[in-house]
Structure 1
Amino acid sequence: MDTAQRQNTTVKEGFLVKRGHVIQNWKARWFVLLPDELLYYKYDGGKKDSSLRGKVALAGCKVTCPCLEYQNRPLVIKLKTQKSAEYFLEACSREERDAWAASITSTIQNLRPDSAQKPLSEHAHLELNNVSLNQVVDSMHDVHSGVKLVNHMEQGSSFKKCFSGAALVDWLVSMGFVLTRVEAVTLSSALMEENFVKPMGIKSVDASRVGNMTEQFLDDSTALYAFAESYKRKGSVKAEPSLSAVDLSGKVVKRGYLLKQGHKRKNWKVRLFVLRAEPGFLHYFDPSREDSNPVGGFSLRGCLVSALEDNGIPSGVKGNVQGNLFKIITQNDTHYFIQATSKEEKMEWILAIKQLT
């Protein structure tokens, strides 16, 4: 299939971080979802389709989302082929992960001979009377397969041994306690009502005061919760101020994969960019690394951001990288050259950054 034909049949495309088959490292690849297969490319010189690295025939495949096999990578989708080959693909956000999973699943279903199936909503009804909350809590505590307890940041404070609302929802779905995220929220609210789980931090505490049970628990990656037992054993879990974490404590406004030019070698690499407000910071992460620490970042106070011309290679840009470029100049006169994957994405990032400078 040539480029023109592929563009006419493309269902979805964008960056995902893929785990290698032989050497199990993680690398960013440009994925193109077609009506019958999933292609992935190395993104060379700003060209999305310059180097095909592989393809996956989707007939008979199975999607697992969320996939909890990687503790430090909660945004992974697992794709298992008819021949039992496994692909692990990481998105830039929970919304993108779920969108990719839905698109791939829909494509797989369309390839089935009996593709006319009943909608999930006909089966998606949760009977809480048939769910043992004690069994759920025991499973949550399981050392090997339970909910992972980590340290979270909220508004300059760190909370120890807790989990986000989105993480618990992901876990409940993946363990088969519920069928849908809506059911998981209802079950999580019941756990909170029975004092198995307690809210931590401003966002989750405020939500818990709402009268409607289905609105008390938040399917949100920034709403924090903890096991209630920790309050009884050790007293109230107190927030510990961490001044060094202030720049990472702001509200996440936008996140996504972008290409960034290096300061020393001037080569272009895919980075996960996270834009935060209050305080305004832009951090970037190496998606191939297992840890969650940023490899760079800067305050947006006093920054200048501007789009670069698409005609030719702008001054300061190295390599044959053209189109969808923008530049950020920090208050200390450091220049960052960044490339988006489309004109629309470029303008979205520029407008979002300008609001925080």
Structure 2
Amino acid sequence: METDKRSTILREGFLVKRGHVVHNWKARWFVLTPDQLLYYKYEGGKRDSCQRGKILLKDCTITSPFLEHENRPLVFKLQTQHGVDHFLEACSREERDEWAADITAAINKLQVTDGAMTHQKDPAKSQLHHINLSKVMDSMYDVHSGIKLSNHMEQGSTYSNCFSGSAVVDWLVFMQLALTRVEAVTLASALLEEGFLRTVGMKSVEALRTAALSEQFMDDSTALYSFPESLKKRGSVKAERSLSAVELSGKVVKRGYLLKQGHRRKNWKVRLFVLRSEPAFLHYYDPTKDDINPVGGFSLRSCLVSSLDDNGVPSGVKGNIQGNLFKIITQSDTRYFIQAPSHQEKMDWIDAIREQT
């Protein structure tokens, strides 16, 4: 007996989706099957049994990364065969790339089934150069692991939210996007040529005007560069770091969507959690808002984290929960109740947090 395509789940998890009519962003639970992408609302920490929508994958095209939402660098776009655009945001570059790969594989399999694969160009080959540069830019602009923005002086003038040429080269080599400083300069020159970076101040402007193509970008601590004006609406990476430079300066160890119970209303909401080390902090963000600042967070020093039994509702927990619960008690005795989408994710988060306490 043939298995129904729709009964096979290829992937599922939280994504943040932009609305069609009102262009607000909402966290939804997505389920990928061989021929469609279904999405559901989450109420009280439980998936709504009534699906909110579906995207038929036949003849869809996917663009990942999709960089036109300048304050949301982790978006990818799905366009249906009727030209309807769906904008979806993942919690990390890895998650976005995995979703995009699984959706692309499903679309390609449908085209093979229809005998149409021979007529399709290989988008990866035709857009390789563009996608590579876009991904570099995406990484560089990432709130949590991107290049640091700061104020610089040049010839008596102060320039805000920019970085030096040598800082760009340092970052490209550190992130292993280039093996050597020479490679990094070539890559940075390509970013400059394509408009992903812009010159700031006299020194970099003059270098761009007079240098040969391979020497347009300067590996120099006094040559200044910045992101293009179209990205400035985001408020810059510096805005997040000024909230608390110390607690947000740690290395990102883990990030993902989890459900958190509110302290006052006790309602459950999807939050983007980011775990950092040295210093160890856990911050959470509202993924529906464009604000890059966390809505809350706490030090993991002397915290206690524990798994909660799925049988019954633990004391302090309200609502129609689905399980996979864990609890964090901070040094100041504040209790956080959190639900993971799966048992495995719950255990992964608990292990990761324990390593930092």
Partner Cα separation in structure 2 for residue 202 and residue 314 of structure 1:
49
User: 2:100 — aligned with what?
Assistant: 101
User: 1:52 — aligned with what?
Assistant: 51
CA contact (8 A) 2:145 2:252 kept: no
Question: Structure 1 residues 19, 209: closer, same or farther in 2, change over 3 A?
Answer: closer
Q: Please report how far the alpha carbon of residue 320 of structure 1 lies from its aligned counterpart in structure 2 after TM superposition.
A: 1.8
Partner Cα separation in structure 2 for residue 82 and residue 260 of structure 1:
37
Q: Please report how far the alpha carbon of residue 231 of structure 1 lies from its aligned counterpart in structure 2 after TM superposition.
A: 8.1
Partner Cα separation in structure 2 for residue 245 and residue 214 of structure 1:
31
Partner Cα separation in structure 2 for residue 153 and residue 334 of structure 1:
25
Partner Cα separation in structure 1 for residue 169 and residue 181 of structure 2:
20
Question: Structure 1 residues 273, 200: closer, same or farther in 2, change over 3 A?
Answer: same
Alignment of 1:156-305 (within 5 A): 158-159=149-150, 161=161, 198-200=166-168, 203-204=171-172, 206=174, 210-211=179-180, 232=203, 235=222, 244-305=244-305
Higher mean C-alpha displacement, 47-56 vs 247-256: 47-56
Question: Structure 1 residues 126, 267: closer, same or farther in 2, change over 3 A?
Answer: closer
Q: Please report how far the alpha carbon of residue 296 of structure 1 lies from its aligned counterpart in structure 2 after TM superposition.
A: 0.4
- TM-score scaled by structure 2? 0.72
CA contact (8 A) 1:155 1:246 kept: no
Question: Structure 1 residues 345, 318: closer, same or farther in 2, change over 3 A?
Answer: same
Higher mean C-alpha displacement, 54-63 vs 154-163: 154-163
User: 2:320 — aligned with what?
Assistant: 320
Q: Please report how far the alpha carbon of residue 270 of structure 1 lies from its aligned counterpart in structure 2 after TM superposition.
A: 0.3
CA contact (8 A) 1:197 1:228 kept: no
Q: Please report how far the alpha carbon of residue 122 of structure 1 lies from its aligned counterpart in structure 2 after TM superposition.
A: 9.6
Q: Please report how far the alpha carbon of residue 299 of structure 1 lies from its aligned counterpart in structure 2 after TM superposition.
A: 0.7
Question: Structure 1 residues 319, 121: closer, same or farther in 2, change over 3 A?
Answer: closer
Partner Cα separation in structure 1 for residue 100 and residue 251 of structure 2:
26
Q: Which runs of 5+ in 1 are unaligned?
A: 141-145, 164-195, 220-224
Partner Cα separation in structure 2 for residue 243 and residue 29 of structure 1:
29
CA contact (8 A) 1:199 1:226 kept: no
User: 2:210 — aligned with what?
Assistant: none
User: 1:85 — aligned with what?
Assistant: 84
Higher mean C-alpha displacement, 315-324 vs 338-347: 315-324
Question: Structure 1 residues 6, 36: closer, same or farther in 2, change over 3 A?
Answer: closer
Partner Cα separation in structure 1 for residue 4 and residue 178 of structure 2:
54
Q: Please report how far the alpha carbon of residue 116 of structure 1 lies from its aligned counterpart in structure 2 after TM superposition.
A: 4.6
Q: Please report how far the alpha carbon of residue 200 of structure 1 lies from its aligned counterpart in structure 2 after TM superposition.
A: 3.6
User: 2:115 — aligned with what?
Assistant: 114
Question: Structure 1 residues 65, 310: closer, same or farther in 2, change over 3 A?
Answer: same
- TM-score scaled by structure 1? 0.72
* Aligned residue type for 1:12: R
Q: Please report how far the alpha carbon of residue 156 of structure 1 lies from its aligned counterpart in structure 2 after TM superposition.
A: 12
Partner Cα separation in structure 1 for residue 304 and residue 81 of structure 2:
51
* Aligned residue type for 2:261: Q
Say whether residues 1:25 and 2:24 are aligned partners.
Answer: yes
Higher mean C-alpha displacement, 243-252 vs 267-276: 243-252
Residues 158-195 of structure 1: per-residue CA shift (max 9 Å, x gap): 536459xxxxxxxxxxxxxxxxxxxxxxxxxxxxxxxx
Question: Structure 1 residues 119, 305: closer, same or farther in 2, change over 3 A?
Answer: farther
Partner Cα separation in structure 2 for residue 121 and residue 82 of structure 1:
16
CA contact (8 A) 1:152 1:159 kept: no
User: 1:334 — aligned with what?
Assistant: 334
Residues 216-247 of structure 1: per-residue CA shift (max 9 Å, x gap): 8999xxxxx96576582593569x99683211
* Aligned residue type for 2:351: L
CA contact (8 A) 1:155 1:249 kept: no
CA contact (8 A) 2:199 2:224 kept: no
* Aligned residue type for 1:114: G
Q: Please report how far the alpha carbon of residue 316 of structure 1 lies from its aligned counterpart in structure 2 after TM superposition.
A: 0.8
Question: Structure 1 residues 157, 148: closer, same or farther in 2, change over 3 A?
Answer: closer
Q: Please report how far the alpha carbon of residue 147 of structure 1 lies from its aligned counterpart in structure 2 after TM superposition.
A: 8.9
CA contact (8 A) 1:16 1:91 kept: yes
User: 1:72 — aligned with what?
Assistant: 71
Question: Structure 1 residues 105, 46: closer, same or farther in 2, change over 3 A?
Answer: same
Question: Structure 1 residues 292, 124: closer, same or farther in 2, change over 3 A?
Answer: same
CA contact (8 A) 1:199 1:205 kept: no
CA contact (8 A) 2:16 2:28 kept: yes
Question: Structure 1 residues 231, 302: closer, same or farther in 2, change over 3 A?
Answer: farther
SS, match of residue 297 in structure 1: strand
Q: Please report how far the alpha carbon of residue 213 of structure 1 lies from its aligned counterpart in structure 2 after TM superposition.
A: 6.6
User: 1:62 — aligned with what?
Assistant: 61
Partner Cα separation in structure 2 for residue 244 and residue 298 of structure 1:
11
CA contact (8 A) 1:197 1:226 kept: no
Residues 258-298 of structure 1: per-residue CA shift (max 9 Å, x gap): 00000000000000000001111100000110111110000
SS, match of residue 43 in structure 1: strand
User: 2:192 — aligned with what?
Assistant: none
Question: Structure 1 residues 218, 209: closer, same or farther in 2, change over 3 A?
Answer: closer
* Aligned residue type for 1:232: K
Partner Cα separation in structure 2 for residue 87 and residue 286 of structure 1:
20
Q: Which runs of 5+ in 2 are unaligned?
A: 152-160, 189-195, 205-220, 226-237
Question: Structure 1 residues 88, 258: closer, same or farther in 2, change over 3 A?
Answer: same
* Aligned residue type for 1:306: S
Partner Cα separation in structure 1 for residue 250 and residue 341 of structure 2:
26
